[in-house]
């Protein structure tokens, strides 16, 4: 399948849910990936795992990302994901979270390329959809093996590779290894998506120019800033760099986002999940610390609307 655009939304656990994915697509994200879904949870018919696979028609093209370390269980999860009418099934070989890697999943698979390739092959064999792989540059600085793993996954039938240019040991600390993304791109014939510290038009441009990648992926740079996709698209289409939206517009987007979150998950869960999102929307403004204290006590859309007005009034002209 073809993905038309420049930037994709990264899979982020606890963040990239349906409400956020839809919002990012409305701002021009070319492609979105779900929160990661446990293959073990799928095999046990876990309700939460099933809920994470639900996609809407407003967020296309979309992938469901699965994680695990048993080839047959991963293949079973791929079949289940396909039944949710996703466009792509993505395999997580990059998550650095201790609870994931301690079970041999996520970026731990980079320590076992043979197993990683077998998982890829089993998923490809099990479904008719494209299967992609998201990986890191390696486990640590002494085992930067993304090129080797990418070639193996390509041979196993993967349709594209996403490379986050950090090792697992780095977690999210700088710097991003741009060279390893370029080396992967030069070593495989399938599309390569560049990931790591893309947070706007100029960093997207640098990722494209320095790696030759086919698409960039935005993760933390989209938190509280779904309009980053519009900024990237505008730059590549016209050369113009769009400024950040006025604060009143940012607050409007925040309220839209959180209302959608409550519509999908109910007010109780939605407002509790809203707290982290609201904190991202107000970062770097005057009085942010005090407003974060209020955000931590949010329980209703009415309270959030009042807070948004206070933020605007406390920051005139922004």
Catalytic residues, by residue number, are 95
Give how far Cα 1 sits from Cα of 122, 126, 228, Å: 20, 18, 24
Full DSSP string of the chain: ----SSEEEPP-TTTS-HHHHHHHHHTT-SEEEPPPEEHHHHHTT-HHHHHHT---TTS-SEEEEEE-S-HHHHHHHHHHHHHTT-SEEEEEE----HHHHTTT-GGGGGG-HHHHHHHHHHHHHH-SS-EEEEEEEESSTT---HHHHHHHHHHTT-SEEEEEEEETTTTTPSPP-HHHHHHHHHH-SS-EEEESS--SHHHHHHHHHHH--SEEEESGGGTT-TTHHHHHHHHHHHS--PPPPPHHHHHHHHHHHHHHHHHHH-HHHHHHHHHHHHHHHTTTSTTHHHHHHHHTT--SHHHHHHHHHHHHHHSTT-
CB 190, CB 214: distance < 8 Å: no
């Amino acid at each position: 399948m073809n993905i038309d655009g420049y930037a994709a939304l990264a899979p982020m656990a606890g963040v990239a849910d349906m409400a956020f994915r839809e919002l990012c697509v409305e701002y021009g994200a070319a492609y979105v990936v779900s929160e990661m879904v446990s293959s073990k949870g799928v095999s046990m018919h876990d309700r939460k795992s099933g809920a994470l696979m639900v996609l809407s028609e407003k967020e296309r093209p979309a992938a469901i990302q699965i994680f695990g370390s048993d080839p047959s269980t991963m293949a079973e999860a791929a079949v289940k994901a396909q039944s949710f009418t996703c466009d792509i099934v993505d395999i997580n070989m990059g998550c650095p979270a201790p609870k994931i890697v301690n079970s041999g999943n996520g970026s731990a698979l980079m320590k076992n390329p043979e197993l990683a390739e077998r998982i890829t092959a089993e998923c490809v064999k099990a479904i008719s959809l494209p299967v992609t792989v998201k990986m890191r540059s390696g486990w640590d600085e002494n085992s930067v093996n993304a090129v080797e793993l990418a070639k193996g996954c390509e041979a196993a039938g993967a349709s594209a590779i996403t490379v986050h240019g950090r090792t697992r040991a780095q977690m999210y600390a700088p710097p991003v290894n741009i060279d390893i993304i370029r080396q992967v791109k030069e070593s495989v014939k399938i599309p390569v998506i560049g990931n790591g510290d893309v947070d706007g038009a100029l960093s997207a441009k640098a990722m494209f120019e320095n790696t030759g990648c086919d698409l960039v992926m935005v993760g933390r740079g989209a938190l509280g800033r779904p309009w980053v996709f519009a900024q990237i698209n505008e730059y590549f289409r016209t050369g113009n760099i769009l400024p950040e939206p006025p604060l009143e517009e940012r607050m409007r987007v925040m309220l839209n986002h959180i209302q959608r979150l409550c519509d999908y998950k109910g007010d109780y869960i939605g407002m509790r999940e809203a707290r982290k999102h609201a904190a991202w929307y107000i970062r770097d403004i005057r009085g942010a610390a005090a407003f974060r204290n209020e955000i931590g006590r949010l329980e209703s859309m009415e309270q959030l609307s009042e807070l948004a007005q206070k933020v605007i009034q406390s920051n005139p002209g922004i």
